[in-house]
Amino acid sequence: MNNLTPREIVSELDKYIIGQNAAKRMVAIAMRNRWRRQQIEPELRDEIAPKNIILMGPTGVGKTEIARRLARLTNCPFFKVEATKFTEVGYVGRDVESMIRDLMEIGVNMVRKEETEKVRIKAEKNAEERVLDLLLPRPKSHSSPSATMFAGSQSGEIEPVPEKPRDDATREKFRQMFRSGQLDDREVEMEITVQSGTQVEIMAIPGMEEMGSNLQSAFSNMFPGRRKARKMKIKDAYQALIEEEADKLIDPDAVNELARERVEQQGILFVDEMDKIATRHDQAGGGSADVSREGVQRDLLPVVEGSVVNTKYGMVKTDHILFIAAGAFHFAKPSDLIPELQGRFPLREELDSLHKEEFYRILTEPKNALTVQYKALLQTEGVSIDYTQEALEEISATAEKINEENENIGARRLYTIMEKILATLSFEAPDKSGQAITIDRDYVQAELGEIVEDRDLSRYIL
């Protein structure tokens, strides 16, 4: 992240997301401001709060994808949650602080994975030695008197003779066989840690999920895992031993501390369906649902504003976590949020609806385009497919037409259309191995023609 300028961030996002340049620029600036903040003196650094963002637009135009790709690109802890899952404290449902605990869990797993990679070479070396010990068991350190050899010393006393050391040549021979994969399918018996048979499920009281998590951990400590002998293939045993050895080399306290710092300074929380908890002014006070929505907003406010949340990994400050809210905002508007919450989301951007030109680019430009995915899937069966430009234009025009006549679900419409077009070919692919098939306009029209013409049928199928 430190080396990426806003222009470079937008360029990377362009590889996966078509259009929406204004939204890309906005999130790129937000990420660069994080780096800029780290370069400032500590006294002023803590005073600079993140500029949270609201992305507005219909479903399927790239709101979630922009945030997810941004987090992956910058290696930041990222968590997506729907605002409708939360309820005001005292009602049945999740409390808003649970999203911080979930984000912290993701951060810990991310850091643990990174630390595991750092010690992987040493863990692999130790695991290899343990595999060889399974194949060539070490001699027992305390032998029985009948098995121990004795010899006389110069002083006339009887002294035990050390056991004959293992044959190093044999061990090296087994090492070479193991590294070449010749022993992968041989079975060995090894001890692994398994969870205790006693499992305790804690039903957390709404608004008290953290207490339930702590009770769960307490019961887990009361019934720790135990070692159990199990027969495994050497390749599976090797992977299990690598994990065990890596766990020995990693300091869990250091992992938790590093994860907490990363979540506090770099975490991204994507709150979707924000418009669903907004209360329209002409409906305010119209029912308990509107009261509950406003209650969720008031519970969300201190977390976005900056507070301290208790997690099982310690206290987490939310002052510098970046919140990106999203919603269609067809009926409600950002101004329908309570004024305090509006002030915590100063940046707002409306994403454009997608038309056939954007659909065509989505099918042809991204590295992970649907056309590329289906081509790779069928290639596994030995079937090579290619698309003509006219076929892709027909698919794009069909997607635009169906979105206009039915619910507009944006680029997700391409999933249903592509699946329908290639359904027959996907079913028959094992019987067509070695064939090359071209998807042209006639092929697309043959698969979609009847459905597109029948409006009622297209509503259910496409």
- The number of beta carbons lying within 10 Å of the beta carbon of residue 276 is 16
Amino acid at 107: G
Assess whether 87 and 133 both reside in one domain. no
Assess whether 420 and 450 both reside in one domain. yes
Q: Is residue 434 one of the residues assigned to a domain?
A: yes
Note the pLDDT of residue 270. 92
Phi first, then psi: give them for residue 324, nearest 5 degrees.
-115, 115
DSSP-assigned beta bridge partners for residue 192: 228
Q: Is residue 146 one of the residues assigned to a domain?
A: no
Assess whether 322 and 376 both reside in one domain. no
Rounded distance between C-alpha atoms, residue 398 and residue 421, angstroms? 12
pLDDT at 32 over 60: yes
Q: What is the CATH classification number for the domain harbouring 283?
A: 3.40.50.300
Assess whether 232 and 133 both reside in one domain. yes
Q: How many CA atoms lie within 13 A of 71 on its CB side?
A: 26
Q: What is the CATH classification number for the domain harbouring 394?
A: 1.10.8.60
Cα angle at 337 between 335 and 341, to 5 degrees?
110
Is residue 429 classed as helix, strand or coil in its secondary structure?
helix
Assess whether 94 and 39 both reside in one domain. yes
Query: Is the C-alpha dihedral spanning 125, 127, 128, 134 positive or negative?
Result: positive
Domain end among 328, 350, 372:
350
Q: Is residue 152 one of the residues assigned to a domain?
A: no
Nearest of 287, 292, 298 to residue 276 by alpha carbon = 292
- The number of beta carbons lying within 10 Å of the beta carbon of residue 389 is 11
Q: How many CA atoms lie within 13 A of 140 on its CB side?
A: 6
Rounded distance between C-alpha atoms, residue 429 and residue 381, angstroms? 6
Assess whether 169 and 223 both reside in one domain. yes
Give the tens place of pLDDT for each residue, 370-409: 999 999 999 999 999 999 999 999 999 999 988 888 888 8
Assess whether 263 and 168 both reside in one domain. no
pLDDT band at 210 (very low <50, low <70, confident <90, very high): low
Quote the pTM value: 0.77
Count of domains for the chain: 3
Q: Is residue 132 one of the residues assigned to a domain?
A: yes
Assess whether 127 and 241 both reside in one domain. yes
Give the tens place of pLDDT for each residue, 2-22: 678 999 999 999 988 888 899
86 or 72, higher pLDDT:
72
Q: Is residue 148 one of the residues assigned to a domain?
A: no
Give the tens place of pLDDT for each residue, 33-70: 988 988 888 889 888 888 999 999 888 888 989 999 99
Query: Could you tell me the residue range of the domain that residue 216 belongs to?
Result: 120-138+160-249
Note the pLDDT of residue 150. 43
Assess whether 244 and 127 both reside in one domain. yes
Q: Is residue 167 one of the residues assigned to a domain?
A: yes
pLDDT at 436 over 80: yes
218 or 267, higher pLDDT:
267
155 or 129, higher pLDDT:
129
pLDDT at 106 over 60: yes
Note the pLDDT of residue 214. 60
pLDDT band at 215 (very low <50, low <70, confident <90, very high): low
Assess whether 373 and 437 both reside in one domain. yes
Quote the strand ranges of 338-442, DSSP E. 347-350, 384-387, 436-439
Rounded distance between C-alpha atoms, residue 308 and residue 316, angstroms? 5
Rounded distance between C-alpha atoms, residue 108 and residue 123, angstroms? 20
Q: Is residue 145 one of the residues assigned to a domain?
A: no
Domain end among 200, 229, 249:
249
H/E run at residue 152 = strand 149-152
pLDDT band at 149 (very low <50, low <70, confident <90, very high): very low
Domain end among 202, 224, 249:
249
Give the tens place of pLDDT for each residue, 317-355: 999 999 999 988 888 888 888 888 988 999 999 998 889
139 or 283, higher pLDDT:
139
Assess whether 364 and 454 both reside in one domain. yes
Assess whether 221 and 127 both reside in one domain. yes
Supply the DSSP string of 162-210, one letter for each residue: PPPPP-HHHHHHHHHHHHTTTTTT-EEEEEEEE--S------PPTT-HH
Q: Give residues with Cβ within 8 angstroms of 372, minimum separation 6.
A: none
pLDDT band at 223 (very low <50, low <70, confident <90, very high): low
Cα R_g (the chain), whole angstroms: 30
Amino acid at 228: K
Phi first, then psi: give them for residue 223, nearest 5 degrees.
-125, 75
Note the pLDDT of residue 137. 72
Q: Is residue 143 one of the residues assigned to a domain?
A: no
